[in-house]
Amino acid sequence: STSGVLSTNKDKSAASKDSTPEGAPKRQEDGAETPKQQLLDIIGTMKVEVSYRKKLQQLKASEKKKKQAMNKLEGQESEGSVPQGVTEDTQRGKPLNPELVKAASAVASSLPRNKKQTESELLAQLRRHEETTDKQKKGETINICNVISEMAVKRQSRAQRGARISGRMSLQLDEDGQRIRPERSSAQSDSRSLKVGKRLNIFTKASTEPEHALKTVSSPTIWDLEFAKEVAAVTAQPPRNGFEEMIQWTKEGILWEFPIDNEVGMEDDAEFHEHIFLEKHLEGFPKEGPIRHFMELVICGLSKNPYLSVKQKVEHIEWFQKYFEEKKELLEEI
Amino acid sequence: MAAAALSWALRAARQVLPSPCPGQVRSYYVNWRMVRDVKRRKVAYEHADERLRINAIRKNSILPKELQEAADKEIAALPRDSCPVRIRNRCVLTSRPRGVKRRWRLSRIVFRHFADHAQMSGVQRAMW
């Protein structure tokens, strides 16, 4: 939590640094309150709401920081520089940016814990950050030897290996048909879990979102679908009670969904006026005569038909139009 | 290797679970009469709209008679199987042409067989 606060602090100080060239003329103009001062005031007035869990975390964090500070002190001693007291303000390699110091003090004042202690810890962290950036600038990279020396190859016992393979092969089934989980308690207690331990910071978090989007669109191969179907078929346990049976039936389509929707399956996008007022399709026909009379009857019948879609009705009318055009010579003889 | 083991396990599991719907698998039509009936249904479906429209011209008292005679000739020119009158509602399982109940599309004998084995949903022996 305090490291998060620190990072935001750094961002704000960076922002303030950006605003200082603009703030300088402002300072000249205003004189009373710079935006930086305002920022610092805001940070000072911010009250961190602390719950019990946060308190614990803060305790742990402060302990860690103490340890790190102590280690740092010892390290500094071994290097030969003069160890300072708790208030390590200046004269450690490079002097800290006074703005950062001010920001750190403001943050420390906003936190509910021991203010001087937090301030000193924050400053120590800041200093450490500066040192690492200096190192990187000089060209000293992370020593891979140090990293790998910490890692060790774990030896598996034969029994564990056998248990793992047998666990994969046998999907033992009970009388119910439920799967027995192969006993993994021994294997788990022996092996170390993956998430414990210090982060090695070898890999950087690549942005995975655009890749994911592309992947889902371009490659649902047939094999993937088949595999998905197989998995679904196997993991589908027979229903334990009537409710699950009804759920299964609804998914398959055997059972309707309640409350019953009368228009399931019907996708008529057309409005009622398109069904009823079909006279606009009658423009190709002569305005008088038996054909017109006939077509008006046809339209009357179609408008009363609820089972056809608008498209089908229009197709009927167009067919009649074509038919009567073909028979024009015959009609003219009459 | 792991994928093969997994698929083997899946197949083994599937064999153990019984399939929920035991029934015959029919891959042929029962007899040639059924095949012909199926053909007639398909052709009738294709020409249904045309027949409807031409009949609308024919069964008319408004249009001139010459037009109606022309329509008569046209409808006679359509294939013979396109008329719906030639379709016979046969039993779906045995192709029996008579004694077929429309709701179940089954002949009376098959219907009775399934109903007695409690495989017809909602059908019960009448007793009153």
CB nearest A177 (choices: B17, B67, B70): B17
pLDDT at A135: 74
pLDDT at A103: 77
Burial string for A117-148 (b: 16+ CB within 10 Å, else e) reads: ebbbbbbbbbbeebeeeeeeeeeeeeeeeeee
Contacts of residue A238 in chain B, CB cutoff 8 Å? 17
Handedness of CA A321, A322, A324, A328 (dihedral sign): positive
The confidence band for A268, taking pLDDT boundaries of 50, 70 and 90, is confident
Three-state SS at B101: strand
Average pLDDT score over residue span A220-246? 92
Task: Give the residue, A312 or A175, on which the prediction is more confident.
Answer: A312
Residue A246 inside a domain? The answer is no
Residue A1 inside a domain? The answer is no
For chain B, domains (ranges, CATH) are: 30-88 (1.10.287.1480), 92-123 (no CATH)
Three-state SS at A90: coil
Residue A46: Cβ-neighbour burial (10 angstroms; 0-12, 13-18, 19+): middle
Going residue by residue through chain B (128 aa), what tens digit of pLDDT does each one get?
665 555 555 555 455 444 456 678 889 999 999 999 999 999 999 999 999 999 999 998 999 888 999 999 999 999 999 999 999 999 999 999 999 999 999 999 999 999 999 999 999 999 99
Cα of A11 to nearest chain B Cα, Å? 48
Query: Are A230 and B7 within 8 A, CB to CB?
Result: yes
Cα of A78 to nearest chain B Cα, Å? 53
pLDDT at A14: 45
Rounded Cα–Cα distance for residues A258 and A261 (Å): 7
Three-state SS at B127: coil
Cα of A331 to nearest chain B Cα, Å? 8
Q: DSSP letter for A97, please.
A: P
The confidence band for A277, taking pLDDT boundaries of 50, 70 and 90, is very high
- The pLDDT > 90 percentage for chain A reads 19
Contacts of residue A239 in chain B, CB cutoff 8 Å? none
Contacts of residue B58 in chain A, CB cutoff 8 Å? none
B residues 49-68 closer than 8 Å to A (CB): 49, 53, 56-57, 60, 62-64, 66-67
Query: Are A327 and B70 within 8 A, CB to CB?
Result: yes
Residue A100: Cβ-neighbour burial (10 angstroms; 0-12, 13-18, 19+): buried
Query: Are A330 and B70 within 8 A, CB to CB?
Result: yes
The count of structural domains within chain A is 2
Query: Are A168 and B9 within 8 A, CB to CB?
Result: yes
Closest by alpha carbon to A294, among A246, A245, A327? A327
Q: What angle do CA A243, A247, A253 make, to 5 degrees?
A: 140
- In a mutational test of the A interface, the residue from B50, B67, B121 whose CB has the highest number of chain A CBs within 10 Å is B67
And the tokens for A212? 């994911």
Indicate the residue among A138, A159, A193 that finishes a domain.
Answer: A138
- In a mutational test of the A interface, the residue from B62, B68, B72 whose CB has the highest number of chain A CBs within 10 Å is B62
CB nearest B64 (choices: A290, A298, A316): A290
Average pLDDT score over residue span A229-243? 92
ipTM score of complex: 0.76
Residue A15 has pLDDT above 50, yes or no: no
Cα of B118 to nearest chain A Cα, Å? 19
Indicate the residue among A118, A138, A158 that finishes a domain.
Answer: A138
Residue A289 inside a domain? The answer is yes
For residue B64, which amino acid is it? P
Query: Are B9 and A291 within 8 A, CB to CB?
Result: no
Cα of A234 to nearest chain B Cα, Å? 6
Residue with tokens 């008329």, as numbered in its chain:
B83
Three-state SS at A99: helix
A180: contact with B, CB 8 A cutoff? no
Query: pLDDT tens, A46-105?
Result: 655 555 666 677 777 777 776 776 666 555 554 444 444 434 444 444 566 777 778 778
Rounded Cα–Cα distance for residues A45 and A106 (Å): 9
Residue A113 inside a domain? The answer is yes
pLDDT at A82: 42
The confidence band for A126, taking pLDDT boundaries of 50, 70 and 90, is confident
Residue A129 inside a domain? The answer is yes
Residue A315 inside a domain? The answer is yes
pLDDT at A210: 61
Indicate the residue among A138, A166, A200 that finishes a domain.
Answer: A138
The pTM (predicted TM-score) of the whole model is: 0.45
Per the CB < 8 A criterion, the answer to whether B47 and B79 are in contact is yes
Contacts of residue B75 in chain A, CB cutoff 8 Å? none
Three-state SS at A173: strand
Task: Give the residue, A221 or A159, on which the prediction is more confident.
Answer: A221
Rounded Cα–Cα distance for residues A275 and A115 (Å): 78
Q: 10 Å Cβ neighbour count for A187?
A: 17
Contacts of residue A298 in chain B, CB cutoff 8 Å? 56
Query: Are A294 and B62 within 8 A, CB to CB?
Result: yes
Query: Domain range holding A305?
Result: 272-332
B residues 75-104 closer than 8 Å to A (CB): none
The confidence band for A323, taking pLDDT boundaries of 50, 70 and 90, is very high
Closest by alpha carbon to B43, among B85, B102, B89? B85
Query: Are A234 and B14 within 8 A, CB to CB?
Result: yes
Residue A279 inside a domain? The answer is yes
Residue with tokens 């069964």, as numbered in its chain:
B59
B9: contact with A, CB 8 A cutoff? yes
The listed range with the strongest mean pLDDT (A70-84, A196-210, A230-244) is A230-244
Distances A40 to A16, A30, A103, B16, B23 between C-alpha atoms, Å: 10, 17, 6, 71, 80
What DSSP element (H or E) covers B48? Answer: helix B32-58
Residue A272 has pLDDT above 80, yes or no: yes
Residue A115 inside a domain? The answer is yes
